């Protein structure tokens, strides 16, 4: 469900015509629906009603502080992966005790910052990291509440670049080696072992890999408790998929039932880290047609957004629905076109052989399901400034990140003395 719908022949974000936003802020631009963000978070959180569960929004999906603050006010914690994401979460009002610091490459500085802030949990992904965290915590006179992220070697059957739970992936600690590492961690002065963490990938549309991975982790919890470890928290990560094209992912309620079946008998607190599920279909990339280029064998629709603005199609071969902002009558003829951007790369393509009605220069298009891993992954390649982000609430909208100017972009460069 989302709140991007046609009214009187024009695509709206909630009660605001997208054409009005384009006129006010220009194109390309990201547009988010607050009602959709709220509805998606509520559906996920309510699925776990009655369970001892904490929902920590995965900030990497969309790190705009307005989005984080909105979710924090609804009760969300945060899953962060860097100093920047930690500072964003804290700045947006997420209580430190509801922040989980994840990631395979935390620096000494980041670990100290997390401990000073009082984050609720640090997820450990390697033995060297465990030793470093103990060292930093001891030097600060603190004990770090940690969970070891284990790798269960479960195939999530998702895109190879977003799978994280197989032995060949860089994430986590081999589950077979975990008991020995927990024994070591339990004797370290700066470490307080509180749980086990797992995350097997993103955009999963089948519950079977989840159930398989969670069952292995539940078995590990039993072994660790038998060895004397006080495992009271189970961090199950995120990864539940969303519909981009014709996928039919499980509902949050179906996912919650699996979690309850596996984790319920353990009597643990469950930590969940949805990101894409909340934000993906709550956002669109608004772009304008520059030219329609007729080739010998293809028609190219050249738009003003590029792969630097939304890299998912280039990076993941991701499919995004693309629709005209001006609605066409039912039965309007369509033809196959390639929707491409202006970036000087052959891979700067949003859609290949996509059936679309005849489009004209100057026309607005909406690239759907762009609220996750869109703006956060954008770059300034080809010296293209970062896009604005707009949040819509009912009949109102606000720019929650202004468009970067060329002057601001160029101002980041510093000339050495010998070239001044």
Q: For tokens 């995350």, what's the residue?
A: 199
Q: Are strands 349-357 and 334-340 parallel, antiparallel or unpaired?
A: antiparallel
pLDDT by position in tens, the chain (length 420): 789 999 999 999 999 999 999 999 999 999 999 999 999 999 999 999 999 999 999 999 999 999 999 999 999 999 999 999 999 999 999 999 999 999 999 999 999 999 999 999 999 999 999 999 999 999 999 999 999 999 887 654 544 544 443 445 556 799 999 999 999 999 999 999 999 999 988 889 889 989 999 999 999 999 999 999 999 999 999 999 998 988 888 999 999 999 999 999 999 999 999 999 999 999 999 999 999 999 889 999 999 999 999 999 999 999 999 999 999 999 999 999 999 999 999 999 999 999 999 999 999 999 999 999 999 999 999 999 999 999 999 999 999 999 999 999 999 999 999 998
Q: Is 56 marked active-site? A: no
How much is the pLDDT for 152?
87
Q: What does the DSSP assignment read for 122-135? A: EEE-SHHHHHHHHH
Q: Quick check: helix, strand or coil at residue 137?
A: helix
> What DSSP letter does each residue of 291-313 carry, written as one string?
EEEE-SS-EEEEES--TTT--HH
> What DSSP assignment string belongs to 185-209?
HTT-TTEEEEEEE---BSSB--HHH
| Residues β-bridged to residue 391 | 32, 398
User: Tokens 């792969």 correspond to what residue?
Assistant: 307
Q: How does DSSP classify residue 92?
A: T
Contact 326, 364 (CB under 8 A): yes
* CA distance to 108, 242, 312, 357, 364, per residue, from 288 (Å): 45, 26, 19, 15, 4
CB 88 within 8 Å of CB 99: no
Quick: pLDDT tens for 378-408: 999 999 999 999 999 999 999 999 999 999 9
Burial class (CB in 10 A: 0-12, 13-18, 19+), 179: middle
Integer Cα distance of 348 and 305 in angstroms: 10
pLDDT at 153: 76
Residue where the block lists tokens 């080809």: 382
Cβ atoms of 393 and 34 within 8 Å: the answer is yes
List the catalytic residue out of 1, 49, 248, 344: 344
Query: Is the previous residue joined to 28 through a cis bond, with omega within 30 degrees of 0?
Result: yes
| Radius of gyration in angstroms for the set of CA atoms belonging to the chain, rounded to a whole number | 23
DSSP 3-state of 44: helix
**Bridge partner list, 149:** 197
For the stretch 236-293, pLDDT in tens is 999 999 989 888 889 999 999 999 999 999 999 999 999 999 999 999 999 999 999 9
Q: How many angstroms separate the CA atoms of 177 and 123, rounded? A: 16
Domains of the chain: 4-32+280-410 (2.40.37.10), 103-272 (3.20.20.10)
Tokens of 242: 């969303």
Instruction: Round to whole Å and give the CA distance between 172 and 358.
Output: 49
């Amino acid at each position: 469900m989302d709140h991007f719908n046609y009214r009187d022949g024009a695509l709206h974000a909630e009660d605001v015509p997208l054409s009005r936003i384009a006129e006010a802020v220009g194109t390309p631009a990201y547009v988010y629906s607050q009602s959709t963000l709220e509805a998606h978070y509520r559906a996920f959180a309510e699925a776990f009603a009655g369970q001892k569960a904490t929902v920590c929004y995965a900030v990497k999906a969309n790190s705009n502080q307005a989005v984080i603050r909105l979710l924090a006010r609804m009760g969300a914690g945060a899953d962060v992966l860097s100093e920047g994401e930690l500072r964003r979460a804290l700045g947006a009002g997420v209580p430190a005790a509801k922040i989980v610091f994840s990631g395979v490459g935390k620096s000494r500085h980041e670990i100290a910052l997390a401990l000073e802030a009082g984050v609720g949990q640090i997820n450990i992904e390697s033995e060297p990291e465990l030793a470093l965290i103990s060292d930093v915590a001891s030097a600060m006179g603190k004990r770090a509440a940690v969970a070891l992220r284990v790798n269960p070697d479960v195939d999530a059957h998702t895109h190879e670049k977003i799978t994280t739970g197989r032995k060949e992936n860089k994430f986590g600690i081999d589950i077979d080696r975990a008991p020995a590492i927990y024994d070591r961690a339990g004797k370290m002065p700066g470490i307080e072992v509180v749980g086990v963490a797992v995350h097997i990938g993103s955009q999963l549309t089948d519950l079977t890999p989840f159930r398989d991975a969670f069952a292995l982790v539940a078995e590990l919890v039993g072994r660790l408790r038998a060895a004397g470890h006080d495992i009271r928290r189970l961090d199950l990560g995120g990864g539940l998929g969303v519909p981009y094209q014709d996928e039919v992912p499980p509902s949050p309620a179906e996912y919650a039932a699996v979690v309850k079946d596996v984790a319920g008998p353990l009597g643990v607190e469950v930590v969940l880290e949805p990101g894409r599920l909340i934000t993906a279909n709550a956002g669109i990339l608004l772009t304008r047609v520059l030219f329609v280029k007729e080739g010998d064998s293809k028609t190219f629709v050249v738009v003003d957004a590029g792969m630097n603005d939304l890299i998912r199609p280039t990076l993941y071969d991701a499919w995004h629905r693309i629709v005209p902002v001006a609605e066409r009558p039912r039965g309007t003829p369509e033809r196959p076109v390639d929707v491409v951007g202006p970036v000087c790369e052959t891979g700067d393509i949003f859609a290949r052989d996509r059936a679309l009605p005849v489009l004209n220069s100057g026309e607005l298009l909406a690239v759907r399901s762009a609220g996750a891993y869109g703006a956060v992954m954008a770059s300034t390649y080809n010296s293209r400034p970062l896009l604005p982000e707009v949040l819509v609430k009912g009949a109102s909208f606000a720019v929650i990140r202004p468009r970067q100017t060329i002057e601001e972009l160029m101002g980041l460069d510093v000339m050495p003395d010998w070239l001044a």
